[in-house]
Amino acid sequence: MSGTPTANGSSTFIVQVTDASSRTATRGLTLSVSASVTITTTTLPGGTVGTSYSQQLSAAGGATPYSWTLASGSLPAGLGLSTSGVISGTPTAAGSASFTVRVTDAASRSATQALTLTVSSSLTIGTTTVAGGVVGAAYSQQLVASGGTTPYSWAISSGTPPPGLSLSSTGLLSGTPTAVGSTTFTVRVTDAASRTDTQALTLTVTSSLQITTTTLPPGTTGTNYNQQLVASGGVTPYTWSLASGALPDGISLSPGGMLSGIPTTPVNASFTVRAADAGGGSTTQALTLVVASPPGITTTALATAVSGVAYSQTLAVTGGSPPYAWSIASGTPPDGLTLSGTGVLSGTPTIAGDYSFTVQVTDGASRTAVQVLGVSVAAGQAAQIIWLQQPTNTVVDVPISPAPRVRVQDMAGNAVNITAVVGMRISRPSGADFAASSTTTAETVEGVASFSNLRIAMKEKSVRLRATVGNISSAESANFKVE
C-alpha cells in the first residue's frame, strides 16, 4: 500500500490476497491519516538574571505524546529543556541565546524550530539622588534605569514631587518649583516585560541665590586679612569669582569665597563679586574694602600745666580709619585733668608734680595705638602762707625752739618757691619787739621758710607772730609766753 495521503481521517477496508492456486484470504483493516507534527512556538518571552523562568513549548499535529529535545545550540546559562517541552530555571547571565528545539511525536515523526531567548539584567533605577531646585527657576532632570527590557515607563509610586514639578512617562522630572522645602517621593519604572523597580528620592527646593555679605570690615596694611563671603539660596556648593573691579594689592578671592592676604597699600577698593551655584544660577554684589595704615599717635609730649589754671591740649593721630576713640590705657592724669573720647586732655589741675600715663586711641576698625605721655603741673602763683610749726613758749633773747616754719603756697595748696624773702613780725602785743640779734627774714626752700633765730626782747604773757611776703600775710600764730 503506498501513495501520499491528502486528508486527515480514519478509513476501514478489507484486503484480499489470492495465491497461485487461486486460493484467497481476506482481512479487515483501519488506516488513520493524521497531520504532520509542527512546532507552533516561534518566539519566547525574555528572562531576567536571577529571576525564575518557565515557558511551555507547543506543537501541533502528529501523534501525541510529544517528546522534546535540543537539536542544536545552547540555552542561556541556568536554563534547561525538559522532554515535556518546558524551558525553565533561573538565568545567571545576561545575553541572547539562539538554539533549535526538536519535537518527536508518538509515530517518531519530528519537527524543528529555531528560537531566540534574551536574558536581561535585572531592572534597576540608577538615579538615587536628584539635584536641588530653586523657586522660580526652570528645573529638568532625566531619571535613569538599566536592565530589564526597554522601553521603560515611569510613574510616581507614592508621595508627590515638589509643587510645580511633575514626572513624565519617559522619566523626565521637570517644571518650575513654586515653594521652598524638602520633599520625598517614590518613583517606579516598568519595562516592556512588566518588570518594575522603585526608588525613593528627596528633592530640596531653595530660595533664589543671593549674596548676603553686603559690607566688609576694613583692613590694615601689613596685617593679615581674612573675610569669608556668604551666600544663601540656590543650589550648593557655590563658586566665587571677581566680576569686576580690582581687589586691594595683596588681597585675593578664593573659589570658596574667602577674601584673604596681607594688604600692602592704603586704598578704598570698590569691586563686584559673583557667586555661582551648582544649579547654574549666579548673582553679583558690589563691595568696598577700605585698607588703611595702622593708627599712630603723633602727640609725644605735653605742655606744662599750672595748678589752678585751666588746661587743654588736643592729642593727634595719623593713619587708621575715623572715627577715633581715646581713652587712658594705664596710669592716671593729674588731678583735675581728664581725657575726652575725642582726645582732648583738659581741666584745671590742682596738685603740682610730674605725671606719667598711657593713652590709647581706637579707630573705626577697632585698630589701636598707645603712647606714653608725661605732663608736669607747676604750682600756681603764691596766694597764701600757712603755719607749719607754731611758735612755743620761750625765754627772753633765746631763739624760739623748735624754729617756727611757714609755707608759701598757691590757692590749691601747692608749695611755691619765690625769689622774695619771707618776713616775720610780732602782731601782738603792739609794744613787743624782737631782740636785736634776731633774724626775721628767711628764703623759701620748696616753698618753706624756717626762722631759726627769732628772739623776743622782753617778757610777755601772750605773744603772736605773723609771716608776710609781698601783700600776702599768714594768719596769726597761736599765743605763746616769753619769760
Pick the CATH number of 38-119 from 3.40.50.10090, 2.60.40.10, 1.20.120.140, 3.40.5.50: 2.60.40.10
- Cα 115 to chain center, whole Å? 65
Q: What is the pLDDT of residue 25?
A: 84
Under CATH, to which class is 296-378 assigned?
A: mainly beta
C-alpha span between 440 and 442 (Å, rounded):
7
Q: What is the pLDDT of residue 395?
A: 97
Tell me which DSSP letter residue 397 carries: T
pTM over 0.85: no
Q: What is the pLDDT of residue 278?
A: 86
Pick the CATH number of 124-206 from 3.30.479.10, 3.30.565.10, 2.60.40.10, 2.40.128.720: 2.60.40.10
Q: What is the pLDDT of residue 8?
A: 58
Q: Do domains 38-119 and 124-206 have the same CATH topology?
A: yes
Q: What is the pLDDT of residue 9?
A: 54
The Cβ of residue 127 has, within 10 Å, a number of other Cβ atoms equal to 16
pLDDT along the chain (483 residues), means of 10: 63 80 81 78 92 96 96 97 97 95 96 95 94 89 92 97 97 96 97 92 92 95 96 91 97 98 96 92 95 95 95 96 95 97 97 96 92 96 96 97 97 92 96 95 96 96 96 95 96
Query: Where does 221-295 show beta strands of DSSP type E?
Result: 225-228, 231-232, 239-245, 251-253, 258-261, 267-276, 282-292
C-alpha span between 427 and 460 (Å, rounded):
13
The Cβ of residue 466 has, within 10 Å, a number of other Cβ atoms equal to 18
For residue 345, give Cα distances in angstroms to 202, 301, 368.
Answer: 67, 12, 18
Cell numbers describing residue 420: 622774695
Cell numbers describing residue 134: 530653586
Secondary structure (DSSP) of 55-78: EE--EESS-SSPEEEEEEE-PPTT
- Enter the CATH code of domain 212-288: 2.60.40.10
Cα-Cα-Cα-Cα torsion 258, 261, 266, 268, nearest 10 degrees, comes to -10
- Domain coordinates in residue numbering, the chain: 38-119, 124-206, 212-288, 296-378, 384-482
C-alpha span between 79 and 48 (Å, rounded):
11
Q: Identity (one letter) of the amino acid at 70?
A: L
Q: What is the pLDDT of residue 148?
A: 85
Instruction: Report whether 391 contacts 405 (CB < 8 A).
Output: no
- Quick one: which H or E segment has residue 401? none
C-alpha span between 134 and 67 (Å, rounded):
66
Instruction: Report whether 139 contacts 165 (CB < 8 A).
Output: yes
Cell numbers describing residue 65: 505524546
C-alpha span between 403 and 417 (Å, rounded):
20
Instruction: Report whether 336 contacts 350 (CB < 8 A).
Output: yes
Cell numbers describing residue 186: 517614590
Instruction: Report whether 222 contacts 262 (CB < 8 A).
Output: yes
Q: List, in order, residues 6 or more apart from 73 with CB less than 8 Å away.
A: 97, 98, 99, 100
- Beta strands 267-276 and 282-292 are antiparallel
Q: What is the pLDDT of residue 5?
A: 65
Protein fold of 384-482: Immunoglobulin-like (2.60.40)
